[in-house]
């Protein structure tokens, strides 16, 4: 009988140590966090295993389901997840990705956590949303020392304890956030949810929230209009007496990506909350939470770019066309090398900002972090969708098929640019930081100029940027252009100082020297593409 279906020239499964990433490991060492390297590789091997990759696939193919009522008609407001969602969450929490660094006194604890987040996030992005929100909730909660003393140890616990129970009875907690409303979006000062004092130290909240991700969290930070103005509140799902707080889940959002994670519309029906910070200072109270989740947006985009680059290089290494492997085709090598350069720039700047989180007593570091986060959140997250599209295209038609995993990566990519303020919000926040904290500009250029003299193309770009910033006319109209330039010189400075010559040269020649096109894969002749691509072999 003739053979009609012989399988040839297909790429073997990619099973590898995700933490075997030279840009990441170098950044960990610079952050004085080398003590995490062993754990990082353990997590990386699990992240790159067939088992974990299956977990990620299955939780996206079997999306969460909302159960508003039980079969008897009682309101339950529960979301059912695929069992592997809990496997993913358990790994993340047991490795301290959610909040452990806040109680870890080792040097580089926040950078170590960022590195683990970057590695484990390459398995599946959706579950990192509640992990990130829990991490970011801790510093905001400290605005109410009594609540922080009660809940912070449980938020920082490395035990994942899922289930609807009174928070103090659990071994570990997950926190969510519920800010935006349908009439305001990013303009939270337009929120209409109200909070009235109940006379017993609590408030009663009434209103509708348009986006509440991870509604099965134990605690939520939310914004509402109190008598003294917009204020921040903590709401548990289960009250101290064991009854359910009336937080009603109306529906789950049908999203482009991030489909494993339940994002919901909710209504507060006289829900009980505790004030966090002072009345009327809700935005100021919540801003530290926003800054930390913005860091995770940049980390998430960098993580996705690294995954796309590694998958593309793996495919091209094993796939043959026109008589040789794709990776040996000069034009494909150009594309792959450019993808790796972009991913390493994103990784390096994200980890530098994570390291600044470990130096909270250093005023210059915090000034740099404030501006650097806004700048990098804008640019790194803006590059991710283009990067994912190009990485997918490296697979040809195979990349357009769900089984490749690339469509999921592509769908996830735009989220980080939207979450915690879309591109315009991030760019305008950078301008606001410069206007309100002039010391942040000085700190930013002090960081960038550590590379002065290392590459003339970078030096010229820094000079152009200073001239652009000195011209205040139409600055808001030019905000994206200015912030993009700031992000690029920061990335360029870090790569010139810390990256290999091959990567730094490719970055500076194309991003500053004008020797490149608008698409990926337009590196100039003479680049050491082989050395660059070698940094992304799984």
* pLDDT at residue 1 tops 70: no
- The pLDDT, as a whole number, for residue 191 is 87
Query: CA-to-CA distance for 83 and 472, rounded, in angstroms?
Result: 54
- The pLDDT, as a whole number, for residue 327 is 97
Please enumerate in sequence order all residues whose Cβ is within 8 A of that of 7, keeping only pairs 6 or more positions apart, or say none: none
* pLDDT at residue 2 tops 80: no
pTM score of the predicted model: 0.96
- Quick one: CA torsion of 289, 291, 297, 299, rounded to 10 degrees? -110
- pLDDT tens profile 500-532: 999 999 999 999 989 989 999 999 999 999 999
159 in a structural domain: yes
Number of domains in the chain: 2
Query: CA-to-CA distance for 450 and 529, rounded, in angstroms?
Result: 27
Residues 297 and 251 both lie in one domain: no
Residues 257 and 306 both lie in one domain: no
With bands split at pLDDT 50, 70 and 90, how would you rate the model's confidence at 5? confident
CA 146 to each of CA 151, 275, 277, 520: distance values in angstroms, whole numbers, following the listed order: 9, 11, 11, 52
- The pLDDT, as a whole number, for residue 179 is 85
What rounded mean pLDDT belongs to the chain?
95
Residues 232 and 103 both lie in one domain: yes
Q: What is the CATH number of the domain that holds 60?
A: 2.40.110.20
Beta bridge partners of 248: 267
Residues 60 and 199 both lie in one domain: yes
Please enumerate in sequence order all residues whose Cβ is within 8 A of that of 41, keeping only pairs 6 or more positions apart, or say none: 17, 19, 20
Q: What is the CATH number of the domain that holds 334?
A: 1.20.140.10
CA 364 to each of CA 89, 357, 438, 441, 472: distance values in angstroms, whole numbers, following the listed order: 35, 12, 11, 10, 24
Query: CA-to-CA distance for 299 and 296, rounded, in angstroms?
Result: 5
Contact 339, 444 (CB under 8 A): no
Place of tokens 């006194």: 105
Residues 499 and 380 both lie in one domain: yes
CA 69 to each of CA 80, 260, 367: distance values in angstroms, whole numbers, following the listed order: 12, 21, 49
Residues 198 and 233 both lie in one domain: yes
Query: CA-to-CA distance for 10 and 534, rounded, in angstroms?
Result: 21
Q: Of 223, 251, 280, which one is at a domain's C-terminal end?
A: 280
- The pLDDT, as a whole number, for residue 496 is 98
Task: Select from 505, 385, 375 the least CA-distant residue to 445.
Answer: 375
Tokens of 198: 């109940």
Query: CA-to-CA distance for 215 and 79, rounded, in angstroms?
Result: 8
* pLDDT at residue 10 tops 70: yes
* pLDDT at residue 291 tops 90: no
275 φ/ψ angles, rounded to the nearest 5 degrees: -70, 135
Dump strand ranges (E) for 446-527: none
Residues 290 and 358 both lie in one domain: yes
Domain span holding position 265 = 22-280
Determine the average pLDDT of the residues in 468-491. Answer: 94
Residues 295 and 187 both lie in one domain: no
223 in a structural domain: yes
- The pLDDT, as a whole number, for residue 421 is 84
Residues 211 and 355 both lie in one domain: no
Share of the chain above pLDDT 70, in %: 100
- The pLDDT, as a whole number, for residue 261 is 96
Query: CA-to-CA distance for 65 and 104, rounded, in angstroms?
Result: 36
CA 50 to each of CA 17, 46, 55, 56: distance values in angstroms, whole numbers, following the listed order: 11, 8, 9, 10
Residues 92 and 183 both lie in one domain: yes
Between 292 and 453, name the one with better pLDDT.
453
- The pLDDT, as a whole number, for residue 339 is 98
Residues 273 and 332 both lie in one domain: no
Q: Is the dihedral of CA 407, 410, 416, 419 positive or negative?
A: negative
Tokens of 267: 């209504």
290 in a structural domain: yes
* pLDDT at residue 3 tops 90: no
104 in a structural domain: yes
Contact 355, 27 (CB under 8 A): yes
Contact 417, 382 (CB under 8 A): yes
- pLDDT tens profile 145-202: 999 999 999 999 999 999 999 999 999 999 999 888 888 777 777 888 999 999 999 9
Residues 276 and 288 both lie in one domain: no
Share of the chain above pLDDT 90, in %: 91
- pLDDT tens profile 387-425: 999 999 999 999 999 999 999 999 999 999 998 889 999
User: 356: helix, coil or strand?
Assistant: helix
- The pLDDT, as a whole number, for residue 181 is 87
Q: Of 242, 263, 280, which one is at a domain's C-terminal end?
A: 280
- The pLDDT, as a whole number, for residue 272 is 98
9 in a structural domain: no
Q: Of 280, 297, 323, which one is at a domain's C-terminal end?
A: 280
399 in a structural domain: yes
10 in a structural domain: no
17 in a structural domain: no
């Amino acid at each position: 009988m003739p053979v009609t279906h012989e399988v040839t020239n297909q790429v073997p499964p990619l099973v590898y140590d995700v933490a075997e990433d030279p840009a990441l490991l170098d950044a960990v060492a610079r952050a004085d966090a080398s003590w995490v390297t062993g754990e990082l590789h353990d997590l990386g091997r699990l992240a790159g295993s067939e088992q974990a990759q299956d977990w990620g696939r299955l939780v996206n193919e079997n999306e969460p389901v909302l159960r508003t009522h039980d079969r008897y008609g009682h309101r339950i407001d529960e979301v059912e997840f695929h069992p592997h969602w809990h496997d993913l969450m358990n790994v993340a929490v047991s490795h301290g990705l959610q909040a452990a660094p806040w109680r870890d006194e080792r040097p580089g604890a926040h950078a170590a956590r960022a590195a683990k987040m970057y590695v484990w996030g390459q398995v599946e992005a959706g579950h990192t949303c509640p992990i990130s929100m829990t991490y970011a909730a801790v510093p905001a909660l400290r605005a109410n020392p009594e609540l922080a003393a009660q809940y912070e140890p449980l938020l920082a616990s490395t035990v994942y304890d899922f289930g609807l129970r009174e928070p103090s009875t659990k071994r570990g907690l997950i926190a969510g956030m519920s800010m935006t409303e349908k009439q305001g979006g990013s303009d939270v000062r337009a929120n209409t949810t109200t909070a009235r004092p109940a006379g017993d130290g609590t408030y009663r909240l009434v209103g509708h929230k348009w986006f509440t991700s991870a509604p099965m969290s134990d605690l939520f930070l939310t914004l509402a209009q109190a008598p003294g103005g917009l204020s921040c509140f903590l709401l548990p799902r289960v009250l101290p007496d064991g009854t359910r707080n009336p937080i009603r889940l109306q529906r789950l959002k049908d999203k482009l990506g991030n489909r494993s994670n339940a994002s919901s519309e909710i209504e507060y029906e006289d829900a009980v909350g505790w004030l966090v910070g002072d009345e009327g200072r809700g935005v100021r109270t919540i801003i530290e939470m926003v800054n930390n989740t913005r860091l995770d947006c940049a980390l998430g985009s960098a993580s996705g770019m690294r995954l796309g680059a590694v998958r593309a290089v793996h495919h091209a290494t094993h796939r043959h066309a026109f008589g040789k492997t794709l990776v040996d085709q000069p034009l494909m090598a150009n594309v792959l090398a450019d993808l790796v350069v972009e991913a390493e720039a994103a990784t390096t700047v994200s980890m530098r900002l994570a390291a600044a989180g470990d130096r909270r007593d250093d005023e210059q570091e915090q000034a740099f972090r404030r501006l650097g986060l806004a700048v990098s959140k804008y640019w790194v997250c803006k590059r991710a969708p283009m990067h994912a599209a190009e990485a997918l295209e490296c697979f040809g038609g195979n990349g357009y098929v769900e089984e490749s995993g690339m469509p999921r990566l592509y769908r996830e990519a735009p989220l980080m640019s939207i979450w915690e303020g879309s591109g315009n919000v991030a760019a305008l926040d950078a301008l606001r930081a410069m206007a309100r904290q002039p010391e942040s500009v000085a700190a930013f250029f002090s960081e960038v100029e550590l590379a002065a003299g290392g590459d003339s193309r970078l030096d010229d770009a820094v000079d152009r940027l200073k001239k652009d910033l000195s011209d205040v006319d139409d600055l808001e109209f030019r905000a994206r252009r200015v912030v993009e330039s700031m992000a690029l010189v920061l990335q360029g400075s870090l790569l010139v100082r810390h990256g290999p010559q091959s990567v730094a040269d490719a970055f500076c020649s194309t991003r500053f020297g004008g020797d490149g096109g608008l698409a990926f894969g337009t590196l100039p002749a003479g680049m050491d593409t082989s050395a660059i691509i070698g940094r992304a072999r799984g």
